[in-house]
Amino acid sequence: MTDDAPALSLRDVRFRWRGRAPFSLQIPEVIIAQGEKVLLLGDSGSGKSTLLSLVCGTVVAESGEVRVMGTDLSDLSSGRRDGFRAEHVGVIFQQFNLLPFASVLDNILLPLRFAPNRRTRAGATRETATDLCRALSLPSAIVAARAAELSVGQQQRVAVARALIGRPPLLIADEPTSALDAGSQTAFLDLLFEQVEAHAMTLLMVSHDARLSSRFDRVLHMDEIATVERQAA
């Protein structure tokens, strides 16, 4: 990891999903500076989640470079990519991906299991998790509840706390507001941005909703940054 590197840089990236409906993506160049808040817009099926998977290192480019905080993910073995992601990237998925039968506390602490440096940064983990819940307008007693008992809005905030704990430098969010009404979306983004700014994190968020644009430092459109080829199934 390099302190003055961009949070994220993609250069000459090519990636292809094989199978019944092949889909290929080419991205000449995308650079996101540390501390930027960037919205990635694009139609359904335009490859937004695929791009996030490349950034998370859950899939690997066929050619080109995907660098996170200066590290080229293709230089890492699959096991080291998992460790690198756990240390450096907080992820908020569209469906939140909480473990329903585990407590809120265990859900929030989950990424720290695979990330010793992030665990150290998190300090006293129970207190840190409880503080994060409070900062996200959740009652502190919620840490003892099972994730399955929470409302959708509460689950979403727990997913944010899990992504924020231990202050990974890059936060990736895939349509985190799609399950919320307009008022709840605004309140959620207020809380998310407050945390991102307080910890000088970089945010890359995917959405269909161009109305969110004015809240971000920069907006990327899939059809401007990528060339896509797809074949029908």
Give the whole-angstrom CA distance, residue 220 versus residue 222. 6
Q: How far is the CB of 43 from ligand ATP (least distance, A)?
A: 7
Determine the interface stretch with ligand ATP among 46-54, 76-84, 110-118, 212-220 (rule: CB under 6 A).
46-54
Q: How far is the CB of 69 from ligand ATP (least distance, A)?
A: 23
- CB nearer to ligand ATP: give 50 or 177: 50
Helix (H) or strand (E) holding 79: helix 78-88
Strands (E), the chain: 8-17, 23-32, 37-41, 63-68, 71-72, 89-92, 170-174, 202-207, 218-221, 227-230
- CB nearer to ligand ATP: give 59 or 102: 59
Determine the interface stretch with ligand ATP among 47-55, 132-140, 142-150, 178-186 (rule: CB under 6 A).
47-55
Per-residue interface string for the shown chain with ligand ATP, residues 12-41, x marking contact by CB under 6 A: -----x-x-x-x------------------
How many residues touch ligand ATP under the rule CB under 6 A: the total is 12
Q: Are 208 and 40 in contact (CB under 8 A)?
A: no
- CB nearer to ligand ATP: give 32 or 129: 32
Residue 81, token pair as written in the block: 């990519």
Residue 166, token pair as written in the block: 């231990």
Q: What amino acid occupies position 148?
A: A
Among 2, 3, 4, 44, binds ligand ATP (CB under 6 A): 44
Our finding on whether 85 is near ligand ATP (CB under 6 A) is no
Helix (H) or strand (E) holding 184: helix 182-198
Our finding on whether 166 is near ligand ATP (CB under 6 A) is no
Alpha-carbon distances of 11 from 8, 27, 45, 70, 137, rounded to whole Å? 10, 7, 22, 12, 39
Among 46, 107, 154, 155, binds ligand ATP (CB under 6 A): 46
Our finding on whether 42 is near ligand ATP (CB under 6 A) is yes
Give the whole-angstrom CA distance, residue 194 versus residue 141. 22
Binding positions for ligand ATP, rule: CB under 6 A? 17, 19, 21, 23, 42, 44-50
